[in-house]
Structure 1
Amino acid sequence: MKTQKQNSEKTSMVGLSKLEEKKRINIRWNATLYFQVGLIVSLLAMFWIVETKWEVAQLALDNSNDRELWIDPPTIDFTIDEPKPVEVKKNVVKQQVVKQQVVATTITPVKSNTLLNEDTVPTTEVKTDIPLPSTTTVIADPKPAPKDLLSVQQAPIFPGCESLSTNEARRACFQEKVREFISKKFDTDPFVDKYSGETKRINVQFTVDSNGLVSNIRAASANEDLTNEAKRVVARLPKMTPGKQDSKSVEVLYTLPIVLRIDY
């Protein structure tokens, strides 16, 4: 009885030991299999991660609330009128009448010289050309004829008249300066006793050449001594800026009547 019981116990122990051994084998095999499968999956996952190109999507920020407000300026349409043709009026140049500048000197017993007005001394019309003595021979000059003071484009400039800008102002200044110079430099002392109480007239003509020097001095009078004195004074006129025609220096002719009244 005991023996049968022991055999059955042995048999059961043998069966249990085989089951446990099989279980141990299965556990060992399953662990290895799981490890290999996990390793393969891990390698595949790593390979997939490495080979996969990741694109990072950038989120567009909506800054609609931060945008500046631009207001276009209003458009203005305008047109430019074409200039109307200006009618050019032809300037009619009126011939100017040559007004002679008269220098007159009053001599008193105390030898004081004063300037006479033209309207106080009876004078006759003086022509531009001074009559020359019959013995004088006129030689034709091949150079262009001198311009008259009133017809030249730019009048000669007497020292002291440089600041004037217009030709009319320079012409008037020229005449005034010449008149003052002759009135100041004319020596009347030798004629006080000789021509006392008489009125004498001397017609003087000279040229301001292209260098600004006084030349071609001519004088005509009934008295030779007065004529010589007038030539002497005119010859002492200072050098001037020459007159110009078409931007070229030209000779300018000027005529000056001198009225001399000597009172005792």
Structure 2
Amino acid sequence: MQVKKNPEVEVGRNSSLYFAVGLNLMLLITYMMFEHKTYESDITARDIVQVDDMIEADIPIVNLDVPPPPPPPPPALVPDDIKVVEDQVEIEETIIESSEIGQNDAIEEYVADVEDVDVEEVDEDIEVPFAVIENVPVFPGCEGGTRQQQIDCFQAKMMEHVNKNFNYPERALELEMHGKVYVLFVIDKTGRVTKIRSRGPDKLLEKEAERIISLLPKMTPGKQRGRAVNMPYSIPIHFKFRQQ
């Protein structure tokens, strides 16, 4: 005959649960032991702050030697002989008459004669181009002849003067500078060359071209309607060198 056991009173039915709870408790206790920190008692220092009673000291008042303020200025002296001047001046009124002309004012008729008009001649510096001037400036040696002959002689003498006084700058030769320089100038109403300007590839060439034109002789000035006038003129000077 087998003995029947009551399952409610069996001891080992919850053994696995007890084992798991016990294991977790041991792990928790072990972790807390590893994390626990201890300190040696002889290393710990304790500071005690002592606060003494505040001492109230009386600050002595020091009197500095301050100079006394300066005395007030003496009162102004009033002279005994005071003259009272009356400032009432009689002013005469000046009547200013209007200079405007009214309807009732008569206008005197006056006819001016031609002889009474003074014509002032204004000397203007008029510049007449070479192409339209009536009488071109006369270069020395070009006197006489027609207008076209004087023009041809003027241009020929101008080229002869440039070729005669031409001098190639040494610095320009070393740098192999070349090109055409346009020189603009004015032959004024006295026949002299003024207002010389130039435009070229370099300042060295421009300076030499202006020097050549400044050596032009005095001429007979150009005329327009019988009066001497200024005439602008331009000439190209070609700087060209030959390589050996």
TM-score computed with the length of structure 2 as normaliser = 0.47
Bigger proportion of residues as strand: 1
Greater relative contact order (Cα 8 A, min sep 6): structure 1 or 2? 1
Bigger proportion of residues as helix: 1
TM-score computed with the length of structure 1 as normaliser = 0.43
